[in-house]
Chains A and B, each alone.
Chain A
Amino acid sequence: MVNTVTQSILVVGGGMSGLSAAIEAAEAGHEVYLVEKNSYLGGRVAQLHQYFPKLCPPYCGLEINFRRIKNNSKVRFFTMAEVESISGKEGDFDVKIKMSPRYVNEKCTGCGKCAEACTMEIDNPFNYNMDKIKAAYLPHDMAFPQRYVVDPALAKSPEGLKVKDACPYDAIELDMQPKTFDLKVASVVWATGWTPYDARKLDTLGFGKCPNVITNVMMERLASFGGPTQGKIVRPSDGKEPQTVGFVQCAGSRDENHMGFCSSICCMASMKQATYVREQYPDAKIYIFYIDIRAIDRLESFYVKLKEDANVEFFKGKVAKIEEEAGTGKLVLRVEDTISGSLNQIKVDLAVLATGMQPNTSISPVPTPVPYDDYGFIASIEAKPGLFAAGCTRTPAGVSESVQDGTAAALKAIQSVVRR
């Protein structure tokens, strides 16, 4: 008789690739544990306004994926959880999971009474800290699971008790402690995703100094109804509607001083964001400063269509410096036009840095030795027997490629179970 416990698969990361890996394996009949460090599933895509090239909301597909989880008891997921250690070998891994306190238990109905009672506010990480939320909060409108979170600062403050008392269902536990537990699994899919490259490291591009220099991930939140401006794209410095927007490509990517690789998706992402601006401001002028536009396969048609827009100028050249014009909040971009050879100073109201994808494995490596490439990506799908890399832990990938990769990793993980 085979021990059923060790026939399970562990998926680390509840973003697009991890979510796919977990659900695909579970629907094929396998027991899956899904571990996610955020308080909700969905990862980076949950923070996107729309997908390219269809300009459709990520939640459309996420809702289906969440329903697949709801309908399938073979997936057990843990939010606010991280893997602390992995030992053992293929077919017989021992994994230690650490769960951070949410201070809210499963009795939470999502009624929102805690938030109503709470006056403390914290930076909203879902909106890249561009606005504030109550310290007792639902991570975002469509968060799955639909369960509130109490910030540790609130839990430890005197107000915590008031908020706890406001909950009619006894769902708030202010003394909740971090806890660890062990899982026995046959295989592991590592899909911890990526982090936007820290734009502060691009010291000539003004991020952190000029408020109207933002990053592409922030732009997604600005365009979204759940964002800090209810979906209206405005200049952070004064809330004014931008008349000119500059997209600065390869901000950190394809640059050996920062990240030597190409982040693959930023060209499409900026072109997509150009459509956000164009939709809101029919007269706005847009510049896209680029080295090569990488719109591979059918995505080319999105590029072709955008090129037909007279208000969108594709400007071949790398932006060398961004400075703020005194008094106006406008930004002056210094850029060499590699086609004409001329040096240009272009003024824009808002500059969007296309910061690339830094693999999270370069920041928090897998807690067991696996080979990495020069950039911190896991060097191959089969990182070691029984441990498989998926999505942006392996290579910069868009949504579709992440799903593809997660699906492939699911089969690899199943093979480990079969090999037992």
Chain B
Amino acid sequence: MDKKIAVYICTGCGIGDALDIEQLSGVATSDCKVPVVKTHPNLCGAEGVQVIKDDIANDGVNTVLIAACSQRVMYDVFSFEGTIVDRVNLREQVVWSHPANDEDTQMMAEDYLRMSAGRMKQTELPEPYKPDQEMSKDILVVGGGVTGMTASLEAAKAGYQVVLVEKENELGGFQKGVTSTVTFPYKEVTKNDIDTLISAVKGNDKIKVVTGGKIEKIQGGPCVFNATIKQNGSTNDQRVGAVVLAAGWKPYDPEKLDAKLGYGASPNVITNVQFEERAKAGKISRPSDGQAVKTAAFLQCAGSRDPEHLPYCSSVCCFTALKQAIQVKQQDPKSNVFVFYKEMRTPGQGEDFFRKAQQEGVIFVRAQTPEVITSNGKLAVEAFDELLGDKILLDDVDMVVLATGMVPVTAFGEDFKAKKAEEEEKEEKDKVEVPADAILVSDVLNLEFRQGPELPGLQYGFPDSHFICFPYESRRTGIYAAGPVRRPMGIANAAEDATGAVMKAIQCIELTSKGMAVHPRAGDMSYPEFFMQRCTQCKRCTEECPFGAINEDEKGNPLPQPTRCRRCSVCMGACPERIISFKNYSVGMIGDIIKSINVPDEYEEKPRILVLCCENDAYPALDMIGLRRMTFNAWMRMIPVRCLGSLNLVWIADSLSKGIDGIFLLGCRHGDNYQCHFVKGSELASIRLSKVKETLDRLVLESDRVRFETVSITDYDKLPAMLDEFAEKLVEIGPNPYKGY
């Protein structure tokens, strides 16, 4: 579209008192060649907004630069349908954080205006992506246990069609074999009515149940997933919109447990899972001979909370042991039932159930390392009782029940990367080494994705990405895990977890069908476009995409699947040929912004520092500096980026060759406790930067001119000193020798 740009400069909130507005307007008119330049004392007020609206309606203005406050505020009043809007942050990041009526402050404001005009050169309004294929709103649920069945029912109740695939020949999963359960309100052992749930699922005409089914493969992306499902020897393709992974868990293999727990040494040492099988069969009796159980011992954390086995706590075993102990006690109130525990973990109202077990007469022994002794067919448990402060020996135990933990089904299988490396051998050396996702070939989803067939795990094989703030987010768009495959949980949580995952699946479908991105850029209508003629098949985009959105053909050409894309633009940063762009965000656009910065020559002693900062965290932190009226060096020029992972190295080259003295990159913490909303963006930026430093050294440009720091959104107390210190460092290094060329 032909742009008619208008600049509106607000003089309120101290802007007019701190800057020479006339001169600033002059920059807009002369340097930026903007036809309409207006100032207003209170632009966000009804009258000010009306000025803009009138110009749009009557004057053909379709691109609006608002030189006022931060983009983080007044977002609603400065939003004009069908109009490109850019915000020039004069308030928080110029006048509130720099001295008034100061030459450097004025220069900063003028540069920001030029930079915004520069950005507008290539900015277009995004148009929503519409796939060629027909879009589906159906939901595929993988796993027919409590989680999967609940997910299916909840989706159906919201009006969506469901395909439920269960690998066994009947629905029910683990709970099918469980007679009684413990859940809210945690007062009593309750009868498990799994059959009611099964018949509700079977009787729902929106749910298509495929038992004995296997997912052979899944292709495509949200709304255009194609799942190939095999059942009874025949395969069937199913178009679905989103996937809920509810494939469940397996008990930790008791054969692997330490010998001192006695598994295998006597038939009377069983696991909590085997206890359920026996309870289902009828009376709880001594496994070896069917005699009555007079003394039972439950040993907690059999494998869990053990670095040699499962380092995590399986969360449900305490409840399970309490329930089973009560079952034994209720069957024979005269029996002696002991629970050996490290720590009793019954959070929430679950505490009531712990009390219930105590009331029932279950005896609790706090011991870290109980040992099972078998001799002459007899069982004993020896332990150091921490509360008595003495060693105790429990004789004549009829049955020992080991609390084995939960392992997600996604934790089984060969490591995808290792497998692939074997097949491919090593490729070129000069490549950016991308830290691989931990994907195990667990044969559950069988995604035909370049980056591996299953969801990447974060820790211990549980697939997710942002487990605190956004627990359902996985790194494969449109696929949401729920239930014990996501984290260890019992049925009290699994049903609710399933409901939440379905919510995310429905939301993904609804957003995608409108051409919009899902979390964290929900609603974003831009998407990456590839100028394929210039592609060199280097595969960086396909390897670096944190969400596995890009497959590749046999020649190495990228095959982007836009509905899988989260619009982080990591691919754009990765591409050495710069062929990937968004309508409103591209390598060239940031290049234009950099070019618009006015770089004084070296005699003026006004260095220029480009700051590329994460718009989600570092940028708001910079705003907070202003809000608090703290100050920082005025040589800085901030450019917010979608993610620091979109950093393209050409920006650094462009800046340095233009004479900019230093470049500061502000990204998010990476590593195990990463804070990057796009998981790997900040990390990839730092890896790319390590390459550029070598190049700088070769060009005899000090590599200290480029700095990378991780900051969090609340680091605004530390940021000014970081920025100032970098400015001082650059003074020490001296001016960029390329200045003026």
**A268 to B542 CA separation, bound complex (whole angstroms):** 39
Within B443-469, which residues are at the interface with A (CB < 8 Å)?
459-460, 462, 466-469
Besides A64-B520, A261-B349, A395-B349, 19 more A-B contacts (Cβ < 8 Å) are A57-B713, A60-B677, A60-B712, A63-B617, A65-B469, A68-B520, A70-B75, A72-B523, A141-B716, A169-B42, A230-B717, A295-B313, A300-B305, A301-B459, A399-B468, A403-B469, A404-B496, A411-B503, A414-B158
> A142 at the A/B interface (Cβ < 8 Å)?
yes
Q: Is the CB of B347 within 8 A of A109?
A: no
Q: Is the CB of B42 within 8 A of A168?
A: yes
Q: Is the CB of B459 within 8 A of A298?
A: yes
Q: Is the CB of A29 within 8 A of B510?
A: yes
Q: Is the CB of A262 within 8 A of B351?
A: yes
> A71 at the A/B interface (Cβ < 8 Å)?
yes
Chain B residues contacting A296 (CB-CB under 8 Å) are 313, 315, 345, 347, 488
**A172 to B487 CA separation, bound complex (whole angstroms):** 50
Q: Tell me if A's interface is mostly helix, strand, loop or mixed.
A: loop
- Tell which of B459, B467, B624 touches A142, judged by Cβ atoms closer than 8 Å: B624
- Tell which of A27, A61, A297, A418 touches B507, judged by Cβ atoms closer than 8 Å: A27
Q: Is the CB of A56 within 8 A of B673?
A: yes
Within A364-420, which residues are at the interface with B (CB < 8 Å)?
373-375, 377, 379-381, 395-397, 399-401, 403-405, 407-408, 410-412, 414-415, 418-419
- Tell which of B311, B348, B522 touches A27, judged by Cβ atoms closer than 8 Å: B522
Chain A residues contacting B631 (CB-CB under 8 Å) are none
> B699 at the A/B interface (Cβ < 8 Å)?
no
Q: Is the CB of A408 within 8 A of B158?
A: no
Q: Digit string of A296-311 for contact with B (CB within 8 Å is 1, else 0)?
A: 1111110010000000
Chain A residues contacting B468 (CB-CB under 8 Å) are 51, 54, 56, 61, 399-400
- Tell which of B386, B488, B717 touches A316, judged by Cβ atoms closer than 8 Å: B386
Q: Take A297-B315, A396-B347 as given contacts and tell me if A57 and B620 are in contact as well, using a CB distance cutoff of 8 Å.
A: no
> A338 at the A/B interface (Cβ < 8 Å)?
yes
> B123 at the A/B interface (Cβ < 8 Å)?
no
**B383: shortest Cβ distance to chain A, in Å?**
14
Q: Is the CB of A57 within 8 A of B467?
A: no
B617 closest partner in A (C-beta): A60
Chain A residues contacting B677 (CB-CB under 8 Å) are 60, 64
Q: Considering only CB atoms and an 8 Å cut-off, how many residues of chain B contact the other chain? A: 85
**A331 to B471 CA separation, bound complex (whole angstroms):** 40
- Tell which of B14, B157, B488, B510 touches A28, judged by Cβ atoms closer than 8 Å: B510
Q: Is the CB of B314 within 8 A of A27?
A: no
> B504 at the A/B interface (Cβ < 8 Å)?
yes
**B161: shortest Cβ distance to chain A, in Å?**
13
Within B680-705, which residues are at the interface with A (CB < 8 Å)?
none
21 A-B contact pairs sorted by A residue (CB < 8 Å): A53-B673, A57-B712, A60-B675, A63-B617, A64-B616, A68-B522, A70-B76, A109-B42, A169-B12, A169-B42, A254-B351, A261-B351, A297-B487, A298-B460, A301-B459, A399-B468, A399-B469, A404-B493, A408-B503, A418-B157, A418-B159
- Tell which of A24, A53, A294 touches B347, judged by Cβ atoms closer than 8 Å: A294
Q: Is the CB of B348 within 8 A of A261?
A: yes
> B343 at the A/B interface (Cβ < 8 Å)?
yes
B471 closest partner in A (C-beta): A400
**B190: shortest Cβ distance to chain A, in Å?**
13
**A304 to B500 CA separation, bound complex (whole angstroms):** 30
A108 closest partner in B (C-beta): B44
Interface residues of B (CB under 8 A from A): 12-14, 42, 44-45, 69, 72-76, 154, 157-159, 184-185, 305, 307, 311-315, 343-352, 355, 386-387, 389, 459-460, 462, 466-472, 487-489, 493, 496-497, 499-500, 502-504, 506-507, 510-511, 518-520, 522-523, 616-617, 620, 624, 627-628, 668-669, 673, 675, 677, 712-714, 716-717
Chain B residues contacting A59 (CB-CB under 8 Å) are 620, 713-714
Q: Is the CB of B349 within 8 A of A373?
A: yes
**A99 to B355 CA separation, bound complex (whole angstroms):** 43
Q: Is the CB of A407 within 8 A of B389?
A: no
**A177: shortest Cβ distance to chain B, in Å?**
22
> A327 at the A/B interface (Cβ < 8 Å)?
no
Q: Is the CB of A262 within 8 A of B343?
A: no
A146 closest partner in B (C-beta): B73
Within A8-58, which residues are at the interface with B (CB < 8 Å)?
24-25, 27-29, 51, 53-57
> A215 at the A/B interface (Cβ < 8 Å)?
no
Q: Is the CB of B469 within 8 A of A61?
A: yes
**B146: shortest Cβ distance to chain A, in Å?**
14
